[in-house]
Amino acid sequence: MIGKRSSQKTAKTEEPDNTAGPQHVAIIMDGNGRWAQKKGKIRTFGHKAGVESVRAGVRFARRAGIKSLTLFAFSSENWKRPEEEVSVLMELFNLVLNSEAKRLHKNGVRLKVIGDVEAFDSKLVDKIRKAEAMTADNHDLVLNIAANYGGRWDIVNAAQSVAQSVAEGELNISDINENIFNRYTSTADLPELDLLIRTGGEHRISNFLLWQCAYAELYFTDVLWPDFNEDVFQQAVDDYKIRQRRFGLTGEQVTTASR
């Protein structure tokens, strides 16, 4: 496993610097189709099995004190998949909202959906808005589901809103900086992204949180999403904890500052 290998290397050569653990973790939940095909089943069988891994991820995040968990559930490019697969995914989203929203609420989880949600069926949009409203005052964990989400969409959408604010006289062009721009992105209220995990063996971002990834630590595992569990999540967090995040500084500067 890539992550494990890199952790051993990091442990030997660098000083640990962020042992508190990540505040904001994002996961590209990949590998459902291959998991199902390996078992001789159709791809959608893997999507259904992946729901249990989502539950495990949320459980782990709450226990580990992670403040924000952002899951990539459906990309803006996933519409190009066979119609049948897209419709099963939409159905599944619906079912999961029905069965999980109350449980999340009971467990102090705030649910948010990020992405161009208005493209979904209006009943689904309604359900999403209701679940968001019901859980709006929960603070234990923010669970962001990225649905019809694209990193480029997020940036363009923010740019449009910034332009709108300028046009309405609420914002001066000269005041636009990274902090201000960030407030217009879909993750405005969340802590900086600390750790991005991708399951399924591919080493790419696939148009996920492009703006937010700037200084995130990346962790790739070959584990297919339906096989993801709390142990795999723990391995990723352990690996994160022994990395030295330098943000452009030298290793020595970071070590001195953390003393």
41 touches which of Mg ion, ligand IPE, none (CB within 5 to 8 A by kind)? none
Query: Least distance to Mg ion from the beta carbon of 187, Å?
Result: 22
> Residue 169, Cβ neighbours under 10 Å: how many?
7
Structure token pair of residue 171: 């914002």
**41 belongs to the binding site for ligand IPE (CB under 6 A):** no
Which entry of ligand IPE, Mg ion, none binds 75, CB below 5 to 8 A by partner kind? ligand IPE
Strands 141-149 and 109-114: parallel
Angle ∠(216,145,25) on CA atoms, nearest 5: 25
> Rounded to 5 degrees, what angle do the CA atoms 102, 188, 226 make?
50
Nearer to ligand IPE, 57 or 243 (CB): 57
CB closest to ligand IPE, residue no? 33
107 known ligand binder: no
State how beta strands 141-149 and 195-198 pair: unpaired
Among residues 7, 10, 53, 75, the one that binds ligand IPE under rule CB under 6 A: 75
Query: Mask 4-33, x = binds ligand IPE (CB under 6 A)?
Result: ------------------------xxxxxx
Query: Is the CB of 10 or the CB of 187 nearer to ligand IPE?
Result: 187
Q: Supply the residues annotated as catalytic.
A: 30, 78
The nearer residue to ligand IPE, 28 or 232, going by C-beta atoms, is 28
Residues 168-207 close enough to bind ligand IPE by CB under 6 A: 200, 202, 204, 206
CA-based nearest residue to 213, from 198, 226, 200, 199: 198
Binding residue for ligand IPE, selected from 4, 34, 41, 105, defined by CB under 6 A: 34
Classify residue 191 by its DSSP letter: P
The residue type of 128 is I
How many Å apart are CA 150 and CA 124, to the nearest integer? 19
CA-to-CA distance for 108 and 252, rounded, in angstroms? 40
Catalog residues that contact ligand IPE under the rule CB under 6 A. 28-34, 72-75, 78, 89, 200, 202, 204, 206, 225
User: Known binding site for Mg(2+): residues?
Assistant: 30, 217
